[in-house]
Amino acid sequence: MRNRRLILLLAIALILLSFLLTSCTWHFTISGVLPTTPVESSLVVTSGAYWVQGYIHVNGNNTGEYLGPFQSKTIYNVPCYQNVSIFLLDMSGYPSHTEYIYTKPGLNYVNFNYWW
């Protein structure tokens, strides 16, 4: 009789423990917790005017890509889940205004329609 109670108590404890573990895992995956491994994304920069052209700078670093008038350039390996700043630097060394975007996995789009 005593062994049956002990086995029943252990079975209930195992069921309760497995329920708690699976429900916590289910809750955290549903709630949208960000992954711990770094994820890369891409940035598509587009010029929307003739006078909008120059070298693309992301977070203050020159990417080596030159954006011509009415063109699009894709910048790869941009960090995800971060605020990123983008500006253009023309051939004379004058910077454009800065655009800000919060990057997500995949393609992120930034349009430069004016030079300021």
Look over the chain and give the mean of its residue pLDDT values, rounded to a whole number: 84
Residue 73: is its pLDDT beyond 90?
yes
pLDDT band at 115 (very low <50, low <70, confident <90, very high): confident
* Residue 90 scores a pLDDT above 70: yes
CATH topology of domain 40-112: Immunoglobulin-like (2.60.40)
Nearest to 81 by CA among 103, 107, 62: 103
What is the pLDDT at residue 14? 76
Q: CB neighbours of 87 closer than 8 A, spacing ≥ 6?
A: 57, 95, 96, 97, 98, 99
For residue 78, the model assigns a pLDDT of: 92
